[in-house]
Structure 1
Amino acid sequence: MVETVLIGMLAALTLVILILAKLRKSKFGPMQGMVVSMYFGMNIGLTAGVLYGILYQGELFFSTMIAMTIGVMAGTLCGLCFGMLSMLEGIMAGLMGGMMGAMLGEMIQPNEANSFIQLFFLLSVSTIFIMIIVTSRKDAQVQQKKWILKPLTLFVCSVVYLVVANSLVMKSDSLVQLTQNQDPQNLVDSDRFDQQIMVVTKEMRYSLRDIQVEKNTPVALTLNNLDAIEHDIEVRTDAYMQLGKAHQHHGASNKWLHLHTAPNAQESLRFEFKESGIYEFYCTIPGHKEQGMKGQFIVS
């Protein structure tokens, strides 16, 4: 899962930063320690914020709290290596980075998330170079040609680390990728002016949480279930009109808008909302809503 891979990468990077900070602590003054702690806490918070902001779109408070926690932890651990002022600087930077990252993840589209995550992660990795720069004397001179091997080796290791980590992320099953791989031929057979919407279920999550639709406009909704258990979508309102063949499922009230899928299958239906408003949808399978399988139609 992309979340697990990226958090593991951030944890590994934090460990590397802590080891370098311990080894080079004697060469850092108070100001240098504050700069490194602020820079690292901010970028870790931004990276985690965009990740959780895009994974939990529609739940800004939850994604913000997680991202700020990760940013504060990174900033605190880094700052502790240099003193109390550096730790406080790292805490505040982690809070700010987590908050801004979560807000950014909430606003951007899923296909834009990977670019931001890679950018902020690259900035986090560059903390290693910042630590080298701030501990170099202005009058330092190169005494031997072998010195150049140190930054070159560090640069090569960083590039290899990023390439390998990026390949792992790309191979992971991501809800961000799933929402982009919609096959129009698999959508419900409807008029070309219908609003086509595909919701993918993967690992007890809906790929879409906030769905914008227009009143009195036909909607072609497809539920693509990639899990090994059944899922559904239900909207408990009668302010809609079913179009075409009705979707039936045992146990569901005919009064509500309901779409059910078997494991590793997909189903579709057409309908239109008759009134404006915000209508909650969720999975009625016991326990699924409580695990986060919910969202809302925003009808304008």
Structure 2
Amino acid sequence: MKRILLSAALAVALPSIAWADAGHSSGEPYGEPGDSRKPARIVQIVMREADERMEFVPKNIKIRRGQQIKFVIRNNGEMNHEIVIGTLEGNLKHGAQMAKNPDMEHDDPNMRRLVPKASDSLIWKFTKAGEFDFSCLIPGHREAGMSGTIIVQ
């Protein structure tokens, strides 16, 4: 019976630990998922490849602390891209893990992956002031220029 209980406890705890090790945790320093029923400032972001680079347009976004943002994201490129909102340290750590596991799939509220010519949205509430990162963590994409900064004042 103890072995069954221990196995059940590990089955519940290990995914949470793995999720936290990947740079995810509850109470993120950069905010929390937004509420689609509440008003939000709309910020459009385009993903694209241009002149042998990959990029987000715009690359820098300024917002107010406490503001809920609806990112309307469009992949105008010819490749799959993703956007991951986080701290620079967390995104770099997660990017290193993705380099080892390029087929890693996500279903986190702070990220979206889009096929070419697709659109999606992501609602996020920035609860703390600071400088945060958004990146495409598909291996090689951030290194090709696909990152940006969110400044929360």
TM-score normalised by L of structure 2: 0.58
2:115 corresponding residue in structure 1: 262
Could you tell me how far apart the structure 1 residues matched to 2:107 and 2:86 are? 9
Matched position secondary structure for 1:224: strand
1:207 and 2:57 aligned: yes
- C-alpha separation in 1, matches of 2:125 and 2:116: 26
Partner of 2:93: none
Aligned-partner residue type, residue 224 of structure 1: R
Q: Which runs of 5+ in 2 are unaligned?
A: 1-35, 88-103
What's the C-alpha RMSD, in Å, of the aligned pairs? 2.0
Please, which of 128, 139, 151 is the counterpart of residue 275 of structure 1? 128
The residue that corresponds to 2:143 in the other structure is 290
Match of 1:231 in 2: 81
Aligned-residue offset at 1:274: 1.2
In 2, the alpha carbon distance for the partners of 1:225 and 1:191 equals 25
1-structure distance, mates of 2:80, 2:60: 22
Distance 1:260 1:214 in 2: 26
After TM superposition, the score normalised by the length of structure 1 is 0.31
Partner SS, residue 290 of structure 1 = coil
Secondary structure of the residue that 1:206 maps to in structure 2? strand
Q: How many residues align?
A: 98
Structure 1 Cα separation of the partners of residues 117 and 140 of structure 2: 19
How far off its partner does 1:298 sit? 0.4
Higher relative CO (CA 8 A, sep ≥ 6), structure 1 or 2?
Answer: 2
Q: What SS does the aligned partner of 2:143 have? A: helix
Does residue 97 of structure 2 align to residue 251 of structure 1? no
Cα 1:252/1:192, change in 2 over 3 Å: closer
Q: Deviations over 1:169-211 (max 9, x none)?
A: xxxxxxxxxxxxxxxxxxxxx5684111011112121111110
Cα distance between partner residues in 2 of 1:276 and 1:253 = 25
Computing the radius of gyration from Cα coordinates, the structure with the larger value is: 1
More strand by share: 2
After TM superposition, give the deviation of residue 235 of structure 1 in Å.
Answer: 2.0
Q: State the one-letter code of the partner of 2:106.
A: A
User: Distance in 1 between the 2:48 and 2:112 partners?
Assistant: 16
Unaligned 5+ segments in structure 1 are 1-189, 238-249
Structure 1: distance between partners of 2:112 and 2:107: 11
CA distance in 2, matches of 1:225, 1:199: 9
2-structure distance, mates of 1:268, 1:192: 15
Looking at secondary structure, tell me which structure has more helix per residue: 1
Contact in 1 for aligned 2:70/2:123 (Cα 8 Å): yes
Shift of 1:252: 2.5
How far apart in 2 are the matches of 1:208 and 1:191? 26
